[in-house]
Amino acid sequence: MKTSIIIPVHNEEKNILNLLNSIFKNNPNNIEVIVVDDGSTDETSKILKNFKKRFKYIYIKKFGVAKARNIGIKSSSGSLILFFDGDVVLKKDTVKKFIKYFKKNKKLNVLQGIWEKKYLHKTNFITKHLLLKLNFNLEDKSKKEKKHFNFKGIKVSELLTGCLGIRKKILKKIKFNEGYKKAGGEEFEMGSRIFQEYDIFYISKIKVFHQFENIFETLKRIFFRTINYAIFNFNLSTQKRKIFNRFNETSVPQRDIKNLFIVTTLFFFLLASIFKGEFFILFLIGCIIFFINNIKLLLYIKKNLDFLSMIKSYFIELIIIFIKTISIIVSFILVYILRQNKLKI
């Protein structure tokens, strides 16, 4: 099966060599690799031009990740397209497993892997927390899933393009929306259109290592990604929103939705306690409820790390949900202002 790997990059000087080396070290030479550089201003371009192995390099002005992927698709020759983000590293069998599942299952059209819960380098604790949380969401939901084709996968409505395989015939019909200039929202929007015609599956047996950025960049990404997701949801019809979110528990589980309400209430109780001390008791009760709502996740983190890490994760999850709450409020205000002015989002 002719396979093309497409990698959109922007300022990935610290990561791109690790990804390319992991591809060429473990895969046959007939794999087509296309790197689309979306206007990098660091040393990414220089690194790519000096890389010894053969691959197709395309430089474009900064048009956004959606356009970069579409350009990569147009330049590809494979019938199977694999997308990897510039900040991941492939395991030895990542590409081989994608090819194997698509070869064996002619009706399989979209398949995506997941980040490995282990990490390659010393990293910050927020990264550890996020990796374990994503794996927990996947493992927790997979317990309820039936076998699809010849593998046990999870049917979802989202796309996560960091580790994704799609047959090219689909990408000829359905393209990434180039209105999305920053990474995040384009995945949900594209996934919602594909999901209307084709099944999308997650599988835990296909994994990549993720090279996270520093704490500030990670939290900033969470903030803007949540805004994109919220705006996308606001623009869905009620019926489509119900269908999309029903299969979207991997990245937005019901636990997180409850967390949003709990953290919002906690914030108001904390503010109220400044003026009336009795509200602080309600704030503490809310903290206990938050712990109970996340007990399975926290015990999973304790199992994979230790007790102290579980306590750290409790507070990190509080911070992350608070950031997401602010993001949703910001996106609601944006949607309201734009609709009042009859502008399209």
Average pLDDT over residues 82-90: 94
Question: Tokens representing 211?
Answer: 């090279």
11 — alpha (psi -120 to 50), left (phi > 0) or beta?
Answer: left
Residue 25 confidence (pLDDT): 87
pLDDT level of residue 184 (50, 70, 90 thresholds): low
Measure CA of the first residue to CA of the last residue in the chain; give whole Å.
39
Q: Rounded to the nearest 5°, which phi and psi values hold at 228?
A: -60, -45
Compare 103 and 53 and report the one with higher pLDDT.
Answer: 103
E-strand ranges in 137-268 read: 154-156, 163-167, 200-210
Question: Tokens representing 124?
Answer: 């910050």
Compare 139 and 113 and report the one with higher pLDDT.
Answer: 113
Chain region(s) in the chain for CATH 3.90.550.10: 3-212
Average pLDDT over residues 28-32: 80
Average pLDDT over residues 176-183: 79
For 150, which DSSP code? T
The β-bridge relationship of strands 32-38 and 110-115 is unpaired
The DSSP annotation for 65-133 comes to: HHHHHHHHHHH---SEEEEE-TTEEE-TTHHHHHHHHHHH-TT--EEEEEE-SS-SS---HHHHHHHHH
Residue 121 confidence (pLDDT): 65
What is the CATH code for 3-212?
3.90.550.10
DSSP 3-state assignment of 156? strand
What pTM does this model have?
A: 0.84
Compare 280 and 121 and report the one with higher pLDDT.
Answer: 280
Question: Which percentage of the chain shows pLDDT scores above 70?
Answer: 86
Residue 143 confidence (pLDDT): 67
> Does 142 have pLDDT greater than 80?
no
Q: State how far the Cα of 24 lies from the Cα of 32, in Å rounded to an integer.
A: 10
Cα torsion 332, 333, 339, 345 to 10°: value is -70
Average pLDDT over residues 309-318: 95
Residue 60 confidence (pLDDT): 92
Residue 126 confidence (pLDDT): 84
